[in-house]
Amino acid sequence: MQDKIIETLTNLADTRIKAEGKARQDLAEEAADMTRAITSYSLRKAMETSADAMPWRILLEDQEDGEMIGEFLKLRKRLTAQLIDSTFSTSSCMIVNEQDRMKWNGIRRFLQDTGYLVSALEAAERAAEEPAPAPAPEPEPAKPVPGHRPTTTQRKALELIAKGGVRRTQFGKGPVRIGSDNGRIYADTFAVLDREGWVSVDTSKSFFHGQPVELTEAGQAHLPA
């Protein structure tokens, strides 16, 4: 049981940290290209994935000198207490306020994504304490769900991207737009699809000509059969 949960925690941490690394690399490449403007989209993506990865980085660092499951449970309690006592940043700098908001959202997602593991541990502990007339197989924790399920609006956006012809564009310092030949996709909706790893963007193309957008295997899995 514990081996399975440790494997799940390790896999989830690896996924979040790799997503952060990719976002940082994309931002670095954009910043290094003197012919392109540094966009709020790339900066926001790097900040958001960094906030998502931070609790997982803390877990991996804390468990180096201890036992992972014990450190995991202590980290959840510590982050829950911090979240309860937290207040919103009221800095005059909007970037500082947004960074603070993303930090707490990252902590919330960590707690939400690992809640079922705590339930599995508690169920196993209760089963071990109850006398059994005969040996029974160990209860297995629920299988982790890879990411979130798309909303109706997000699923429609995935279907539009599957039809092809979707590009991400930006002119000058204007807003990032998601162009589609088959229907409208809002930038906020697209940001969620990108964060969940349901779409990929060809960043080798310029914003002016449009960066092609395609579904990943994870995104295709949410399309109707």
Confidence of residue 129 (pLDDT cuts 50, 70, 90): confident
Per DSSP, the residues of 139-152 read: PPPPPPPSSPPP-H
Domain ranges of the chain: 2-129, 152-220
Q: Tell me which of 181 and 152 has the higher pLDDT.
A: 152
pLDDT at 54 over 90: yes
Instruction: Using the Cα atoms of residue 197, residue 160, residue 191 and residue 112 in order, give the sign of their dihedral.
Output: negative
Count the neighbouring beta carbons within 10 Å of the beta carbon of residue 151: 11
- Sort 169 into a burial class: Cβ within 10 Å, 0-12 / 13-18 / 19+: middle
- Give the pLDDT score at 66: 63
User: For residue 199, what is the enclosing H or E element?
Assistant: strand 199-201
Count the neighbouring beta carbons within 10 Å of the beta carbon of residue 166: 25
What average pLDDT does the segment 43-52 reach? Answer: 93
Confidence of residue 144 (pLDDT cuts 50, 70, 90): very low
Percent of the chain whose pLDDT exceeds 70: 91
Mean pLDDT score across all residues of the chain: 85
- Give the pLDDT score at 168: 86
pTM here is 0.54
Annotate 84-108 with b (16+ C-beta within 10 A) or e (fewer): eeeeeeeeeeeeeebbbebbbebbe
